[in-house]
Amino acid sequence: MRRLVNRREFLRTTLTAGTAFSVPGGVWADDYPSTIVSMPALQLSQAIRNKKVSCLEVMQAYLTQINRYNPVYNAIVSMSLEQELLRQAKNADIELARGNYRGWMHGMPHAVKDLQPVAGLRHTSGSPMFADRIADQDSTLAAKLRAAGAIFIGKTNVPEFGLGSQSYNPIFGPTGSAWNPKLTAGGFSGGAGRALGAHMLPVADGSDFMGSLRNPGAFNNVIGFRPTVDTVDLVTGNPSDQRPLSTSGPMGRNIADTIALHNTIATNPLNVDFSALDLGSQKLAWMGNLEGYLAIEAGILDLCEKSLKLLSDAGAAIETTTPRFNYGDLWSCFTTLRHGGRTSLRNYWDDSNTRDMLKPELAWEIQEGIKITDTDTAAANQIRQAWYIELDRLFNQYDFLVWPTAQVFPYSKNIPWPKQIAGREMDTYHRWMEVVIYGSLGGLPVINLPVGFDADDRPMGMQVIGRFGEDKKVLEFALAYEEITNHLDIRPKLISAL
Q: What pLDDT is stored for residue 2 in this prediction? A: 54
What whole-number distance in Å separates Cα of residue 222 and Cα of residue 254? Answer: 7
Q: What pLDDT is stored for residue 234 in this prediction? A: 65
pLDDT tens-digit readout, 167-176: 999 999 999 9
pLDDT tens-digit readout, 268-282: 898 888 999 999 999
The residues of the chain scoring below 70 in pLDDT are: 1-34, 234-241
Q: What pLDDT is stored for residue 241 in this prediction? A: 62
Q: What pLDDT is stored for residue 20 in this prediction? A: 34
At residue 290, the 3 state secondary structure works out as: coil
Contact 435/407 with Cβ under 8 angstroms? Answer: yes
What whole-number distance in Å separates Cα of residue 492 and Cα of residue 291? Answer: 34
Give Rg (Cα) of the chain: 21
pTM equals 0.92
What domains appear along the chain, each with residue ranges and CATH number?
2-321+398-492 (3.90.1300.10)
Q: Which amino acid is it at 157?
A: N
At residue 157, the 3 state secondary structure works out as: coil
Contact 169/127 with Cβ under 8 angstroms? Answer: yes
At residue 401, the 3 state secondary structure works out as: strand
Compute how many other C-beta atoms are within 10 angstroms of the C-beta atom of residue 20: 8
What whole-number distance in Å separates Cα of residue 71 and Cα of residue 194? Answer: 13
